C-alpha cells in the first residue's frame, strides 16, 4: 500500500485517484475548484464515465480516498505525487504549462517521487527534475474518455520515463501490463507520437473519403479492405466530421509547435491538422448542396459531443460544424443523449424528433448507436424536407431511404 497524492480532479486525476484507491492505495486528491471538491466529498461525479462514480463512492466511504481543496495535503506525507493538471493550448499553439508551474511553485517535496502524468512536451520533466529535490518521472496517460476506468485498470501499456529505481516503483503501482521504462523525454514523446499518429490516420481516411466520392468508390468498402491487412490494423479508420476532443487538437498543435521550435519540418503533422480543419467545412458544403442557401433554414443536429460515450463537448467537431452553419444563417436545434443545455448556437431539445421538427435537413454528427434505430417515417413526416446528412456513416441506408429520406453519406 502506497500513499498517493493526486493533483487535479479532472477526467485523468479523478480516474487515477479512484482507481488507485480501488487497488488498495491511500489517496489524497486535490483540486482548486471548490465546487468540484465539495461535490466529490459527497461522492457526486458528474462526468459520464462507467464505474467512476461507484469507485469514488467506495473510496470515500471506506476512507481510502479523500478530496481536498488546495494542493498542500496532497504534496506532503505521500510516497508519490501524480500531477494531473490541464495542459491546454497556449495562444502560440504550444502547450500551456502554467498549471504545472503553479503546482510546482507551491510544492516543497521531500521523500516522494513526483510523477508527471499531464501531457507535456519532451524535455519538460527533465526541466522539472533539475528544479526538484526528489526523483521525477514522466508517466503519460493513455485512457480514452468514456472508457476511463476500464482503460486505467486494464492498460495496454504503462510507460514511465526516468531513473530505473523510481520508475520501477511507479510501474509497480499499476495492474500488471506491458511496461516500458525509458528516459523522460522519450516517455513524454510516446504520448504525443501516439495521439498524433491516430489523428494522422483519421485525416488520411477523411481525405480518402473525399476521393472516394469523386472516384465512384465507397469508403466503407475501401477501409474494410485495408483492415484485412494486419499491418494497417482495424482501428481508427472510420471517417467522420473531423477528430476532436480535449486531446487530439491540442496535442497535434503542441507537437507541431515543439517541432517548429526544434527546426524539424514535420509537414505531415501540419497537413494532418489542416485536413481536419477543412473537414467541418466539407460537412457544411454537403448540407448546403442538399438544401440550398442556409439563411433562415432550420437544421437539426443529432449528436453534439466529440464522440459517442462521453458528455464532453471540448473541441467537438459537431460544434465546429454548428458554428459554420450558424454563420451562414441556419437556425439550429440539436439532440444529444448526454447534453441537456444549449451549446453555442444550438438550441438543445429533448428528443431526435424535436430536433428534426420543421427542419430542412438532419445532420448526424456523433455516432451514438441509438441514432441508428430511430423511427424514420415519423421523423420524415415532421420535417420540412426529409434530408439526412450522415457524417458518421452510421445509419441503415436502406431503411432510411425507404422512409422517403434523401440520405447523404460520407465517402460513398
Ligand X SMILES: NC(=O)c1ccc[n+]([C@@H]2O[C@H](COP(=O)([O-])OP(=O)(O)OC[C@H]3O[C@@H](n4cnc5c(N)ncnc54)[C@H](O)[C@@H]3O)[C@@H](O)[C@H]2O)c1
Which secondary-structure segment (H or E) carries 58? Answer: helix 52-62
What residues contact 382, with CB distance under 8 A and at least 6 apart? 353, 356, 357, 358
Q: What 3-state DSSP class applies to 406?
A: strand
Of ligand X, ligand UPG, none, which one does residue 115 interact with (CB within 5 to 8 Å by kind)? Answer: none
143 binds ligand UPG (CB under 6 A): yes
Give the active site residue among 19, 212, 247, 338.
Answer: 247
Question: Is 89 assigned to a binding site?
Answer: no
DSSP letter (8 states) at residue 23: T
236 binds ligand UPG (CB under 6 A): yes
Residue 394: CB atoms within 10 Å: 19
Question: Is 262 assigned to a binding site?
Answer: no
237 binds ligand UPG (CB under 6 A): yes
Q: Which is nearer to ligand UPG, 68 or 193 (CB)?
A: 193
Q: Which is nearer to ligand UPG, 16 or 403 (CB)?
A: 16
Please state, in angstroms and rounded to a whole number, the distance separating the CA atoms of residues 306 and 314.
7
365 binds ligand UPG (CB under 6 A): no
Question: Is 142 assigned to a binding site?
Answer: yes
Question: Is 236 assigned to a binding site?
Answer: yes
Of ligand UPG, ligand X, none, which one does residue 188 interact with (CB within 5 to 8 Å by kind)? Answer: none
What the block records as the C-alpha cell of 264 is: 524539424
Q: Residues in the site for ligand X, rule: CB under 6 A?
A: 7-13, 30-33, 36, 71, 84-87, 99, 102-103, 118-119, 141, 143, 145, 246-247
Please state, in angstroms and rounded to a whole number, the distance separating the CA atoms of residues 283 and 267.
25
> CA end-to-end span of the chain, whole Å?
55
248 binds ligand UPG (CB under 6 A): yes
Least distance from C-beta 170 to ligand UPG, angstroms?
Answer: 18
Residue 361 pairs with which residues in a beta bridge?
Answer: 299
Of ligand UPG, ligand X, none, which one does residue 67 interact with (CB within 5 to 8 Å by kind)? Answer: none
The residue of the chain with the least Cβ separation from ligand UPG equals 247
What the block records as the C-alpha cell of 249 is: 487538437
307 binds ligand UPG (CB under 6 A): yes
Least distance from C-beta 119 to ligand UPG, angstroms?
Answer: 6
Please state, in angstroms and rounded to a whole number, the distance separating the CA atoms of residues 380 and 156.
44
Active site residue 247: yes
Question: Is 143 assigned to a binding site?
Answer: yes
What the block records as the C-alpha cell of 337 is: 443523449
Pairing of strands 80-83, 26-31: unpaired
Q: Which is nearer to ligand UPG, 204 or 236 (CB)?
A: 236
Which secondary-structure segment (H or E) carries 252? Answer: helix 248-261
Among 121, 135, 155, 244, binds ligand UPG (CB under 6 A): 244
122 binds ligand UPG (CB under 6 A): no
Contact indicator for 318, 301 with CB cutoff of 8 Å: yes
Least distance from C-beta 163 to ligand X, angstroms?
Answer: 23
Among 80, 306, 368, 405, binds ligand UPG (CB under 6 A): 306
- Of the candidates 90, 157, 92, 100, the residue with the CA atom closest to the CA atom of residue 123: 100
Among 202, 346, 362, 395, binds ligand UPG (CB under 6 A): 202
φ, ψ of residue 338 in degrees (nearest 5):
-110, 10
What residues contact 224, with CB distance under 8 A and at least 6 apart? none
Query: What's the gap between Cα 162 and its chain centre?
Result: 27
Give the interface with ligand UPG as residue ranges (CB under 6 A): 141-145, 195, 202, 236-238, 240, 243-245, 247-248, 306-307, 317
Which residue numbers belong to the known binding site for substrate? 142-145, 191, 236-240, 244, 307
Active site residues: 247
Amino acid at each position: 500500500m502506497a500513499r498517493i497524492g493526486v493533483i487535479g480532479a479532472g477526467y485523468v486525476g479523478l480516474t487515477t485517484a479512484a482507481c488507485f484507491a480501488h487497488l488498495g492505495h491511500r489517496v489524497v486528491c486535490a483540486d482548486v475548484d471548490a465546487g468540484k471538491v465539495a461535490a466529490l466529498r459527497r461522492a457526486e461525479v458528474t462526468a459520464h464515465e462507467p464505474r467512476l462514480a461507484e469507485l469514488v463512492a467506495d473510496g470515500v466511504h471506506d476512507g481510502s480516498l479523500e478530496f481536498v481543496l488546495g494542493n498542500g495535503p496532497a504534496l506532503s506525507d505521500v510516497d508519490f505525487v501524480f500531477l494531473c493538471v490541464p495542459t491546454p493550448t497556449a495562444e502560440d499553439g504550444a502547450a500551456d504549462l502554467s498549471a504545472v508551474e503553479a503546482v510546482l511553485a507551491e510544492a516543497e517535496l521531500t521523500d516522494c517521487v513526483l510523477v508527471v502524468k499531464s501531457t507535456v512536451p519532451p524535455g519538460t520533466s527533465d526541466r522539472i527534475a533539475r528544479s526538484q529535490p526528489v526523483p521525477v518521472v514522466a508517466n503519460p496517460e493513455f485512457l480514452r474518455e468514456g472508457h476511463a476506468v476500464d482503460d486505467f485498470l486494464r492498460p495496454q501499456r504503462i510507460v514511465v520515463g526516468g531513473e530505473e529505481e523510481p520508475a520501477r516503483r511507479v510501474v509497480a503501482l499499476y495492474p500488471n501490463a506491458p511496461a516500458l521504462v525509458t528516459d523522460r523525454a522519450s516517455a513524454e514523446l510516446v504520448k504525443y507520437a501516439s495521439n498524433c499518429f491516430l489523428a494522422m490516420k483519421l485525416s488520411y481516411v477523411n481525405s480518402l473519403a473525399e476521393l472516394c466520392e469523386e472516384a465512384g468508390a465507397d469508403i466503407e468498402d475501401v477501409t474494410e479492405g485495408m483492415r484485412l491487412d494486419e499491418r494497417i490494423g482495424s482501428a481508427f479508420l472510420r471517417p467522420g466530421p473531423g477528430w476532436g476532443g480535449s486531446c487530439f487538437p491540442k496535442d497535434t498543435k503542441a507537437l507541431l509547435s515543439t517541432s517548429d521550435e526544434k527546426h524539424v519540418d514535420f509537414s505531415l503533422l501540419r497537413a494532418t491538422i489542416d485536413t481536419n480543419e477543412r473537414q467541418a467545412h466539407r460537412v457544411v458544403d454537403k448540407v448546403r448542396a442538399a438544401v440550398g442557401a442556409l439563411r433562415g433554414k432550420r437544421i437539426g443536429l443529432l449528436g453534439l459531443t466529440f464522440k459517442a460515450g462521453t458528455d464532453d463537448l471540448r473541441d467537438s467537431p459537431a460544434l465546429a460544424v454548428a458554428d459554420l452553419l450558424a454563420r451562414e444563417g441556419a437556425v439550429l436545434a440539436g439532440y444529444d443523449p448526454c447534453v441537456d443545455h444549449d451549446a453555442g448556437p444550438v438550441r438543445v431539445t429533448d428528443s431526435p424528433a424535436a430536433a428534426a421538427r420543421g427542419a430542412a435537413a438532419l445532420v448526424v454528427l456523433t455516432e451514438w448507436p441509438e441514432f441508428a434505430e430511430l423511427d424514420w417515417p415519423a421523423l420524415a413526416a415532421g420535417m420540412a424536407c426529409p434530408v439526412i446528412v450522415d457524417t458518421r456513416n452510421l445509419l441503415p441506408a436502406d431503411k432510411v431511404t425507404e422512409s422517403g429520406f434523401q440520405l447523404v453519406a460520407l465517402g460513398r
